[in-house]
Chain A
Amino acid sequence: MNQPASAYFIEDRHDPNETHTLSVLVQNEPGVLARVIGLFSGRGYNIESLTVSETESQKHLSRITIVTTGTPMVIEQIKHQLDRMIPVYRVVDMTQTKRSIERELAMVKVRGQGEHRVEALRLADAFRARVIDATTESFVFEITGNTDKINQYIDLMRPLGLVEVSRTGVAAIGRGPEGM
């Protein structure tokens, strides 16, 4: 390896990246989301998707679902770094548990007439997308599913007059009777 002259050891890392979905239970207090996001940007971690909402208002608990990519060592770091933050209660790697359900909701606006309109409706039916707004020249579809399904649906809508998409990001929950 031809090392440039430097005070730092510069190395190439070749471990393959993995995608993981993390559920993070936090105290819902001012700045908590900024802390979590700041951790990711500050340490150079990736955020593929981020979903956050208060889930237990009496206890002021929020649940953050983060989809991230990195080498196994980086994913391990991310979990530990999150877990040591003061307002974080728990971090669960939903991908590692292999017992989780992931859902995302998207609203997809399609503009078109004639055969394109009919085709859009037909595909919506196949994907169990619902029409939630309609004009004579457009539809807004609501579709729920995992990320792949939604990506696939959007790709199909593209030649049929796709105008815009609004997505929620991934929410995840474990299967079975236990909570996180």
Chain B
Amino acid sequence: MSDKSHDPNQMTGAAMIVRALIDHGVTDIFGYPGGAVLPIYDEIFQQSEVQHILVRHEQGAGHAAEGYARSTGKPGVALVTSGPGATNMVTPLTDALMDSIPLVCISGQVPTHLIGNDAFQECDTVGITRPCTKHNWLVRDVNDLAKVLHEAFYVATSGRPGPVLVDVPKDVQFATGTYHPPRKSDVHRSYAPRVKGDATQIRKAVALLANAKRPVIYSGGGVINSGPEATKLLRELVEVTGFPITSTLMGLGAYPASGKNWLGMLGMHGTYEANMTMHDCDVMLCVGARFDDRITGRVDAFSPGSKKIHIDIDPSSINKNIRVDVPIIGDCGNILGDILQVFKAETKKPDIKAWWQQIAQWRARNSLYYRKSNEVILPQHAIQSLFEATRGRDTYITTEVGQHQMWAAQFFGFEEPHRWMTSGGLGTMGYGLPAAVGVQVAHPDSLVIDIAGDASVQMTMQEMSTAVQYELPIKIFILNNQYMGMVRQWQQLLHGNRLSHSYSEALPDFVKLAEAYGGVGIQVHKPGDLDGAIQEMISVKRPVLFDCRVAALENCFPMIPSGKAHNEMLLPEQANDEATAKAFAGGKALV
């Protein structure tokens, strides 16, 4: 028998975890120490290849890892302790599952002999996180740890990406065992996501596209997840076909907002032209999107006259909400390449001049119109100003959730993928600030801005402290209307303007708050001061809380009222009290 003490692959479980991170190319992790992960923290202390960012709350670690992942295309890694550390991760794990973000969470667990004993800081972590991860593992034997860690990275990043969690009891972290580097056999034989599209289906799809009179491309986050090649191919497809393109909230940036075929975002707060094009089209090509309920409006009235092609890597996304005619399962980069190849060989090219004329009429409705004011800053104006001031810069945007998020999606133009980090599926208030921390860690020299609301930002405000500690000059651009704006909007439109608990009676002084954290606070009230204040914010090389006081009662339009179809949008110029009341006429709220 060989002398095990000299075998470099003999190590403790804690050392294996750090070693596996290095082997998977991880350079930054986000975490919070505690009793059940102390051996891992001890290993982290004794090395310099993996940088650990200490957050102020585990939820912050999770969202920071998400921001890191979405802005780089690499998996984000979070490290938390047992019990409350793990339960605080539930929100980011669920968020990552809904938005298909590759996230690897390593959690400490009480020693194996105490599991099930209601020990101090014990919880059933794998049980709690089972429905909010793509897969999770409890490792009971140190000799299984290397295999599980490698499998975890593979599962998180392959197929439809998602969050995974590895729960490691403290005695397993202390125990010594054999480590091995990543290898193919580390993966469940039952897990084999399909990447190549079916050739027959691709030919069917091209036949539809080539004969289309009123086509539309509807792309989603899957294009961005698939990687730079998919983005390139999507842009080429738009170029070659000349088709109009719209995108979901998650897919912004895959096609540039300045591109001539761009219709703007679709869905509940999408543009009139995007939704009308979807409603009246005869062929719809859905690429890496999932017909979410914020997109479709009333399902039985969704794009009634169209043949639908759906490209998705996850077979369970096919026919879930909307019946499609040509499903193609596989990686959208791969499939877009095949479609392009077949399409280019096709002799018949669609003539869609009349369709573009129709779209131009819809565009002329100017559905993002708002009344500017010299007295008070309109939130839309604030975002437009921010966009203008950052044009041409190396900028990343994160958001919280609510009106400001929709205005950001409507008024900030994204030219590249991975530049827009927002909580789409779960709609997590408090996502943006920690996500900005993660983005800034990945891109230290870039301009990272969290477009925030005054309510959302207070949910994870403590991560300002993290930003200050690591000298991360994130900019928190707060559209402060003193309300939970989207809640207030729904209460106004649907609940007789009874503003139940949506007004923030006691907001902090954000300038003083920024200073208390050691950052910079800026406040602006007047439209005339806005541009200068934004310039000041950008030039400061420290974390900034930017308190932008905006019109309190502004509503987010256009919108598809509940129970309505894409062609029944409420446009801003129609949104007087009477029309609004009519559009939202219905019984008392039940849900």
Given the interface pairs A9-B293, A9-B563, the reply to whether A84 lies near B315 with Cβ below 8 Å is yes
Docked-complex contact A6 and B589, CB < 8 angstroms: yes
Interface mask (B380-424 → A, CB under 8 Å = 1, otherwise 0): 000000000000000000000000000000000000000000000
Whether B365 is near chain A, meaning CB under 8 Å from some CB there, is: no
Which chain B residues border A38 with CB–CB below 8 Å?
130-131
Which chain B residues border A27 with CB–CB below 8 Å?
188, 190
Question: What is the number of residues of chain A that contact chain B, defined by CB distance less than 8 Å?
Answer: 31
Which chain A residues border B318 with CB–CB below 8 Å?
80
CB of B496 to closest CB in A, whole Å: 9
CB of B487 to closest CB in A, whole Å: 10
Whether A135 is near chain B, meaning CB under 8 Å from some CB there, is: no
Q: Compute how far the CA of A4 lies from the CA of B588 in the bound complex, rounded to whole angstroms.
A: 6
How many A-B residue contacts, CB cutoff 8 Å? 93
CB of B266 to closest CB in A, whole Å: 15
Docked-complex contact B155 and A86, CB < 8 angstroms: yes
Which chain A residues border B590 with CB–CB below 8 Å?
4, 6, 10
Interface mask (B482-502 → A, CB under 8 Å = 1, otherwise 0): 000000001001110000000
Given the interface pairs A10-B563, A31-B130, A86-B134, the reply to whether A77 lies near B320 with Cβ below 8 Å is yes
Which chain B residues border A76 with CB–CB below 8 Å?
319
Within 8 A of A (CB), among B272-287: none
Q: What is the predominant secondary structure among interface residues of chain B facing chain A?
A: loop
Docked-complex contact B587 and A2, CB < 8 angstroms: yes
Which residue of chain B is the closest to A89 with respect to CB atoms?
B190
Which residue of chain B is the closest to A6 with respect to CB atoms?
B591
Given the interface pairs A9-B293, A9-B562, A11-B299, the reply to whether A83 lies near B315 with Cβ below 8 Å is yes
Q: Compute how far the CA of A69 lies from the CA of B466 in the bound complex, rounded to whole angstroms.
A: 50
Interface mask (B315-326 → A, CB under 8 Å = 1, otherwise 0): 110111001000
Whether B304 is near chain A, meaning CB under 8 Å from some CB there, is: no
Docked-complex contact B300 and A5, CB < 8 angstroms: no
Whether B359 is near chain A, meaning CB under 8 Å from some CB there, is: no
Whether A42 is near chain B, meaning CB under 8 Å from some CB there, is: yes
CB of A179 to closest CB in B, whole Å: 16
Which chain A residues border B315 with CB–CB below 8 Å?
80, 83-84
Which residue of chain A is the closest to B192 with respect to CB atoms?
A89
Q: Give 17 pairs: A residue, B residue, CB < 8 Å, sorted on A.
A: A3-B586, A4-B590, A5-B584, A6-B589, A8-B293, A9-B293, A10-B563, A10-B590, A10-B591, A11-B300, A31-B130, A34-B130, A42-B131, A73-B319, A80-B318, A88-B190, A89-B190
In the A-B complex, the 4 residue pairs with the closest CB atoms: A3-B563, A80-B316, A5-B494, A86-B135
